[in-house]
Amino acid sequence: MASTLADLKSQLASAAKDVTYVGESPVVYQKNGLRLEGHQLLASYLHQGQRFRKWAVVLPRPSGTVAHVWSYTAPESRFERYRPIAESMLDSWTIQVAGR
């Protein structure tokens, strides 16, 4: 998971300017008897002259070899207005593991 998170940050830094991380914290996915511990971050950055915000969630699969990544990006002026829709989408996310 750490390498996936580092890759996300690296990609953002190479594609955008003035990247700042507003918040980072652990996150837990728990549905249908599956519990995954991951990490989320909130970033602010400039891209093509416009300020954006990105919220990303990284959850490793139980084996640790694959990570699921979910993200929501919007212009900063509209980020909070549409965040409830993004939260609903994240809440609808269902991760399935074979044999469960």
Q: Which residue has the tokens 């728990």?
A: 30
Q: Is 74 exposed, middle or buried (0-12, 13-18, 19+ CB in 10 A)?
A: middle
Could you tell me the pLDDT band of residue 57, with boundaries at 50, 70 and 90?
very high
- Coil, strand or helix: which one is 62? coil
pTM score of the predicted model: 0.88
Q: Backbone phi, then psi, for 43, in 5-degree steps?
A: -125, 155
The answer to whether 53 touches 19, Cβ cutoff 8 Å, is no
* Residue 47 confidence (pLDDT): 94
Q: Tens digits of per-residue pLDDT, 18-52?
A: 999 999 999 999 998 899 999 999 999 999 999 99
Cα–Cα distance, 44 to 76 (Å, whole number): 8
